[in-house]
Structure 1
C-alpha cells in the first residue's frame, strides 16, 4: 500500500463507504416504503407503478446533478468544499425523510439528497483520480478504482442489514435517519485524512477556450429547467408520465452541451472526448438494467421469492426481525390469512396485491395445506431489503478475484485495455438476465415461489459484469479527460448513469404489462446484447485512442 497506492486512498475509501451506506440504505427500502399501505405500517401507500416512476426519477436526478456539481467543483468551489457541501446536504435530506411524513416534505428531502449528490459524487471520484496522476501510483489507477469501488459496496452491504433492524425495531423514520448519521460519519473520516489529498485538490487554472460558468447557466442549466417544466405541463404523457417527460426534456440541453464539447474541442483533445462520449452512450444501457435491483428485482424478492426462515433459525431471529404475526407494529411477519385486496390502476387492472397475507398468495399447495391445518402457526420471513445486500456482497467477494485476474494478465502482457473490459462487462451482464428467465421458468411464471438462490446467482453474474464496467468507466474518464474538464467529464459519466437509471424505472413500470415474466427479462437481455454489439463496433477505435494517449 505504501508504494503502490497513495496515503489518501484509505480515507477516501471509508468516506465513500459511509456516503454509499446512506445512499444505498435509502434505495434498499425506498420502493418498499412507498408502496407500504399507510394504515398498516405507516408507508405512503402508492401503487407499484407510481413507486417505480418516483424511484426511477429520483435515482436519475441523483446522477444528473453531478453535471453541474462537477463543473462548479472544477471552476468555482474546489474539490474539498464541494465534498463538504454535498455531504451536509445529503445528511439533511436523509434525516428529513425520517422526520417528515408529509408527501411534499418527503419530496423536498429527496431534492436535498439529489443536489448534495451532485456536489459529492463526481468530486470525490475526481480527487481519487488526481492522487493516481502522480508517480509511482499512475500504473495502479485501475486497481485503485477497483479498491475504491469495493469501499462503496461494503457500505451498500451493511446498510441493508442495519435498515432491516432499524425499521423492524423502531420504524421507517429511524431507518432513514440512520442513513444521515452514516453520511456525517463519512465527513468526519474525510476531515481526518484531509492532509493526504489537499495537494491533489487544487483547481485547474483557467485556459483559453474554457467553458464559462455564465455560459453553463444560460446555455445549459436554465434551458434544462425550462425544458423540464415544458415536459411536465404539456397535455398528456409522451413517455408514460409527467415526471418522465420532464426528465427527458431536461436532458436534451445537457446532452447537447456534451456533444458540443466534442465539436469545440482542441484538435489534440477531440479523440479523447469522442471516446468518452461513446463509452457514456453504451454504459447507459447497463445502468438501465442494473438499477432494476431497487424495483423489478425487489418486487421479485418481495412477491416471488421464498423468504421463509428455516425452523432452526426462527428463535434467534424472533426478537430481531421476526415477531408474532398478529401484531403489525413495524413487523415483517404475518400469519396466514386467506383474505387479500387487489389495488387497481386507472384501467381497472390489478397492479399489486396488498395486505398481510400477500406473501402467501403463491406458496406451494403443501405449504398452504400446512398453514390451513395449523392456523396458529407463526411464519418468519426475511426482510425483503436484505436481498439488496447480495450484489454488494458479490462485489466485496469478487473484487480481489477480478483485480488479481487483471494483475495476472498484466504480468503476462495480456491485460485487455479499459474499453475491452467495459464491453466484456456488458456481455456478462446480459447473461444475468437469462438467469432470471430460468427463475421465472422454475416458478411456473410466478405460480409458486422460487428459491432465493436464483437471485443470488443472478446478482453474482451481473456483479462480474459490473466490476468490468463501472470502476473501469471511472478509470477511463480519469485517464482520457483533458485535465481542465476532468470533473465535468466525470459528471458526463454520471449523466449516462442518470439516463440509464430513469430508463430502469420506465422498464420496471412495464412489469405488469407482461403476462409472461420471461419476456420482461428477455427484453433486458436484448438491450444489453444490443449495447454489447455497439461496443464491439467501436472497440478497435477506442483501444487505438487509449494507446495514442499513453494508456
Structure 2
C-alpha cells in the first residue's frame, strides 16, 4: 500500500524543525537580551519600549522579505538554491549575534537573518506543497501541512530549554551561537533528503503575462526602499514627530505600501480564471494579519508577564536536579545592590545603557505573596531558584505538539462523515478561538490584583493552550490555502504574500506591546487584543460564504 505522504516529508520536517529551532531560540531571549543592562548584565541596555519596537520591526522584516525571496525562488534561483542561501545567511546572522556585541554588528547580524529568512521561509513551504500536488498525496495536503507545522513547533519547544542551559552556564553569546549550529544541522538534513524532492523543485516555465524580475525591482522593491527612507526621515522633518510612534514603524509602514499595492494590482490585472483565487487569498491575508498581531506578543507582552507577574519559583523536589542541569536561574533573597525598577517593572538605566543601582531585593521579590516571603525568610540558604523566563516560550509549541494529532484527527473524523469544514471556515474559527485566549489573560490580571501579587504559571499555560487551538485552525490552514488556490505561476509569490500578512501583523504586535505601559489596569490591554480578534472574526464571517464558494469552484 502506497504511503499517504511523500517520502520527502520527513526531511523537510526536520530541516524546518532545526531552522525554527534557531529562529525561536533567539526570539525567546531577544527582548530579555535587549533590556538587560550593559556591563555585568551583558545585555544591550535598551529601554523596554524601544526593545518592543525593535523586536516588532525585526520579526516584521523577517516575514516581509519572503515577498522578494519567493519571487526569486520561482523565477531565478530555484527552490534548492534558495533554501541553501537562506539557511547559510541565517546561520551567519545567529552566530554574529553571539560573537559581536557592538550595536552596528548587532543590526548587521539581524539584517542577515532577515534576508536569509526571505529566501528560506516561502521556498520550503512551497516545496512541500509541490510534493502534495499529485495523487495519491493531494487529498492529504492539509494533514501534511499540519505534520510539517508540528516539526516547526518541536524546534520551537526544545530551543528554549537549550537557550536556558546555554545562557545560565555560558552566557548570551553562546546561546545565540547555538541557534546558528541548529540552522547548519538543518541544512545537512536537507542535503541528505534532496533526492526525494528534487523532482518537485523545478522552476515554473515562463508564461505569457508573468511578472518580470525587472518589473518587481523597478515597481515594487525599489519603491519600497525609497518609501522606507521617506518614512524614516520625512515625518519628523515635516511634523516634528513620528506618525506611528517611532522612526522604525514609520519606515516599515511606508515601505509596505508599494508591496501591498503590488498584490492588489495582481488581483486587478488578473484574468477571469485567476481573479477569484487571488481575491480569496488577499481576503485571508487581511484577516490573518490580526491574528499575528496578537499571537506574536508571546515574545514581548507575554514574556514580560512571565518575567514579572508570574510565579517562577522552582519546587524543592526538582530544585537540585534542575539547578544541576542549568535550566533555572539562581537568585539571592537578601539585601544588596540591585537594579532600579519603576512601578511597572521597567529597568531604569543611565544614558549609556548601564543599570542604575539601589539597596534592596531583586525585582522578582517585589510582588511575591506573603506566604512565599515567610517561606524564604525562614530558609537558612539565601539561594532561590527560578525557572528561566524563556522557558515559558516553550508552552505554545508544547501545546502544538500535543494538540496537532487531536486537531488532525478531529478534521479526519469530520472528513469521513462528510462534514469537514472548508479551509476558510477553519481559519475564521481559529480567529474566534484565539480571541478567547485574551480573556484568559484578563482573568490572570484580576487573579494577581493587577500585579500586586504574582499568579500561577497555569494562567499562561491556559492562555497559550487556547490560542494554540486557534493557531492550528489558522496558520497551517493558511499555508495549505495558499498552496491550493494560487495560480501555478504565482505560487511562491503568493506564499510570500501570506508571509507579508504575517509581517504586518508582527509589526502591529510590537506596536501593541509598546503600549503596555499606557494601561495602568493591564486587563484593558488584553481586552484591546480581544476586540481586535473579534473584529477580524466578524470580518472573516462577512466573507466566508464567498470564500467557500470559490474553494468549491476550484475543486477543493
* TM-score, normalising length: structure 2: 0.95
Is structure 2 residue 130 aligned with structure 1 residue 130?
yes
Q: Which residue of 2 aligns with 1:333?
A: 331
Q: Helix, strand or coil: the match of 1:528?
A: helix
Cα deviation, residue 317, structure 1: 2.1
Q: Deviations over 1:41-67 (max 9, x none)?
A: 201111111110000000000000000
Write out aligned runs for 1:146-545 (5 A).
146-234=146-234, 235=236, 236-321=241-326, 332-337=330-335, 340-342=338-340, 351-352=346-347, 357-372=362-377, 374=379, 376-545=381-550
Q: Tell me the secondary structure at the aligned position of residue 274 of structure 2.
A: helix
Q: Quote the Cα distance in structure 1 between the aligned partners of 2:337 and 2:466.
A: 38
2:57 and 2:507 in contact (8 A); partners too: yes
Residue of structure 2 in register with 1:98 after alignment: 98
**Which residue matches 1:64?**
64
Instruction: Summarize the Cα distance change of 1:174–1:307 in structure 2 as closer, same or farther, 3 Å threshold.
Output: same
Q: Is the 8 A contact 1:57 1:244 kept in 2?
A: yes
Alignment partner of 1:535: what SS? helix
Q: Runs of 4+ in structure 1 displaced over 4 angstroms?
A: 338-341, 353-356, 372-376
What is the alpha-carbon distance in structure 2 between the residues aligned to residue 284 and residue 375 of structure 1? 52
Q: How has the CA–CA distance of structure 1 residues 316 and 535 changed in structure 2, closer, same or farther, with 3 Å as cutoff?
A: same
Any idea what SS the aligned residue of 2:386 has?
Answer: coil
Shift of 1:338: 7.2
Q: Give the distance between the partners of 2:107 and 2:68, measured in 1 at CA.
A: 21
Residues 322 and 332 in structure 1, CA contact (< 8 A), matched pair in contact too? no
Distance 1:18 1:489 in 2: 25
TM-score normalised to the size of structure 1? 0.96
> Is the CA contact 2:160–2:391 (under 8 Å) kept in the aligned structure 1?
yes
Aligned position for 2:118: 118
Q: What residue number does 1:327 align with?
A: none
Unaligned runs of 5+ in 2: 349-354
Deviation at 1:333, TM superposition (A): 2.6
Q: CA deviation at 1:341?
A: 4.4
Q: Give the 3-state SS of the residue equivalent to 1:362 in structure 2.
A: coil
Structure 1 gaps, min length 5: 324-330
Aligned pair 1:9/2:30, yes or no?
A: no
* C-alpha distance in 2 between matches for 1:491 and 1:238: 27
Q: What's 1:326 paired with?
A: none
Query: What is the distance in 1 between the residues matched to 2:459 and 2:280?
Result: 37
| Pairwise CA distance, 1:22 | 0.3
Where 2:5 maps in the other structure, the secondary structure is coil
Cα distance change of structure 1 residues 25 and 394 upon mapping to structure 2, 3 Å threshold: same
Deviations 1:421-461 (A, max 9, x none): 00000000000000000000100000000000000000000
Tell me, what secondary structure is at the counterpart of 1:515? coil
Q: Could you say what secondary structure the match of 1:307 adopts?
A: coil
**SS of residue in 1 equivalent to 2:383:** coil
Q: Is the 8 A contact 2:4 2:137 kept in 1?
A: yes
Partners of 1:253 and 1:21 lie apart in 2 by: 32
2:88 is matched with 88
**Aligned-residue CA RMSD (Å):** 1.6
**Equivalent residues of 2:339, 2:362 under 8 A apart:** no
- Which string of whole-angstrom CA distances, capped at 9 and with x for unpartnered residues, describes residues 63-103 of structure 1? 00000000000000000000000000000000000000101
Of 473-482 and 306-315, deviating more is: 306-315
Decide whether the 8 Å contact of 1:418 with 1:476 is kept in 2. Answer: yes
Counterpart of 1:328? none
Distance 2:186 2:376 in 1: 47
